Amino acid sequence: MPRLTDARKELRRAQISEAAVRCFGRNGLERTSIADITAESGLSAGSIYAHYRNKAELVQASAREALSERAAVIGAWAASDAPPDPDELLARLVAGKDPAAARVAVQTWGEATTDPAIRAIVIDMIDQTRAMLHECVAAWLVKIEHKEPAEARERATPIAHRVSALYLAALLDIALQAPTEDTAS
């Protein structure tokens, strides 16, 4: 059998990760098995285990993918000529947030309270998100509020912390408001 190219491996990993997120959103982290992910992805268990050792690795991969997408968007906002103010930044982060993804995030937070590997993933994601928000707020302070860069970085810290906290609260609200696929049908 021919070996998978690096590009093909990444596509396969993304296919598995996306299937896992759909299963996590529908069934919850705890109740999702590798067999569920196998069925959802259309791949064999061997193929899944060739790319991920366990469910925690799948959660980590999903988190990395979400963080990468968020980094690209927030980075573009920060680099623009008119970065959003903190209120607009929060509104943009929350707008159109997928309820299934919000449910997965909240479930992951719950798992983080008892699973050290998941806790490390969650803490890292929150820290990285807060750092991205800090850069965007600092850019707004420099470009729109005309603050000096050093002052902007200092003032951005508590603002980014509040935007981050409000974003996490909004994710919880979205997760709790949205019906699961099981109850929606």
Q: Tell me if 13 sits within 8 A of 91, measured CB to CB.
A: no
* Per-residue confidence (pLDDT) for residue 121, from 0 to 100: 86
pLDDT higher than 90, residue 143: yes
User: What residue ranges define each of the domains in the chain, with the CATH number in brackets?
Assistant: 55-180 (1.10.357)
- pLDDT band per the 50, 70, 90 thresholds, residue 185: very low
Most confident option among 15-24, 65-74, 111-120, 139-148? 139-148
Comparing 32 with 67, the larger pLDDT belongs to 32
The whole-number average pLDDT for the span 55-64 is 82
Distances (CA, A) of 2 to 5, 8, 10, 142: 9, 12, 16, 53
Q: Tell me if 18 sits within 8 A of 104, measured CB to CB.
A: no
Comparing 84 with 120, the larger pLDDT belongs to 84
pLDDT higher than 90, residue 86: yes
Whose CA is closest to 70, among 18, 126, 144, 139?
126
